[in-house]
Amino acid sequence: MRPHLRNSLILCILTLIVYAQTCSFGFVTIDDPSWIVNNAFVNSGVNSTNVSWAFSFNTVDALSNWMPFTFLSLMIDAQLFGMGGGGFHLTNVLLHCASALFLYAALVQMTGATTKSAIVAALFAVHPLHVESVAWVTERKDVLSLCFGHAAIWAYAMYVTAARKKYYLASVALFLCSLLSKQTLVTLPFLLLLLDYWPLRRTAARTHAHDAAVDEEQPAAVPWRRLIIEKIPFLILTVLFCGLALFSQANPMEFSEQYSIPYRVLNAATSYMEYVGKTFWPAGLSVFYPHRTISPLAGSFASLFLLLACGLALWWRRRKPYVFTGWFWF
């Protein structure tokens, strides 16, 4: 069996081993009722009125979000499976599986490291931090957005390695689809610049220590100016959807403004460090983390940790570029 086919099958099997059980689950009482069960536009399936509603800004007024593709996918589930929870969960599982496959394909395309790429994709597929997004129907927005996002990265890698314009256009289109599902991936243009540095190595030819064995046919360095210009369509979409997100999340912003900027910075640093810890030791996970007071000492320690980690990643950007890209991707 070919390595790519074997690894793809393993990824699918691992995903199903963990998540197939969710197809027997129902809905939960958090958000599922307002988003799906009691939402007449969703539970009545696909029709012109419901599709029009999904793309209207009435969803922003009612649910504080504008994510038409997410609502369309939920309508399709209701049309195909009825209002039993199993069909909705099945779609989440299939989207998560596809997301892992796109991530694997993108990593292989960028690095050529088949086994390492499969390991990374497998960790993504089964990591406990993703359980909430896959096992909770309302989080369809996460799995759908990330599936499109990983597909966009794969298409971009194909564009760079195969020099085919159609893949560039596909990457922009897939990025738009991701944003129409959820605005989380507005940072993708900056991630693509990171990937240009490593592993695509477009910024300099054979400058990294581990590149000594790269063949002489490696393309010459691409100027940063060209790389940034290349991201303009992505950046335009980012600006548009950031504005939309600020508009749709007005109430949460009003809540956050109750706290001073220094406090919010310390809170962000502490939360970031906690997620780094949960990546390596995923214990104490919850669907909801109540706000707790952050002590200046804990916040300062977290901020110092992040500054040191960023400094170390920058220091290693030539000798260990994978650390640089990996850290700032996270």
Residue range 44-81, pLDDT digits in tens? 999 999 999 999 987 766 566 799 999 999 999 999 99
The answer to whether residue 207 scores a pLDDT higher than 50 is: no
The confidence band for 197, taking pLDDT boundaries of 50, 70 and 90, is: very high
Q: What is the pLDDT at residue 292?
A: 73
Distance of CA 199 to the CA centre of its chain: 19
* 3-state SS, residue 241: helix
Spatial contact of 188 and 234, defined as CB atoms under 8 Å apart: yes
The confidence band for 213, taking pLDDT boundaries of 50, 70 and 90, is: very low
Question: ∠ at Cα 94 (90, 100), nearest 5°?
Answer: 145
For residues 287-316, average pLDDT: 89
* 3-state SS, residue 56: coil
d(CA 153, CA 204): 20
HSE of 230 in the Cβ direction (CA atoms, 13 Å)? 18
**211 contacts: CB under 8 Å, gap ≥ 6:** 201, 218
Both structure tokens of 35: 């988003």
Query: What residue ranges do the domains of the chain occupy?
Result: 3-208+221-258, 259-330
> Who wins on pLDDT, 262 or 25?
25
Spatial contact of 17 and 120, defined as CB atoms under 8 Å apart: no
Distance of CA 14 to the CA centre of its chain: 20
Question: ∠ at Cα 137 (190, 86), nearest 5°?
Answer: 135
The answer to whether residue 220 scores a pLDDT higher than 80 is: no
Kindly report the pTM of this predicted structure. 0.93
Q: What is the pLDDT at residue 256?
A: 58
Q: What is the pLDDT at residue 145?
A: 99
Q: Is 29 exposed, middle or buried (0-12, 13-18, 19+ CB in 10 A)?
A: exposed
For residues 163-175, average pLDDT: 97
The answer to whether residue 219 scores a pLDDT higher than 60 is: yes
**110 contacts: CB under 8 Å, gap ≥ 6:** 157, 160, 161, 195, 199, 200
d(CA 249, CA 65): 7
The answer to whether residue 250 scores a pLDDT higher than 70 is: no
Q: What is the pLDDT of residues 143-163, one digit of tens each?
A: 999 999 999 999 999 999 998
Spatial contact of 204 and 218, defined as CB atoms under 8 Å apart: no
Distance of CA 114 to the CA centre of its chain: 22
The confidence band for 204, taking pLDDT boundaries of 50, 70 and 90, is: confident
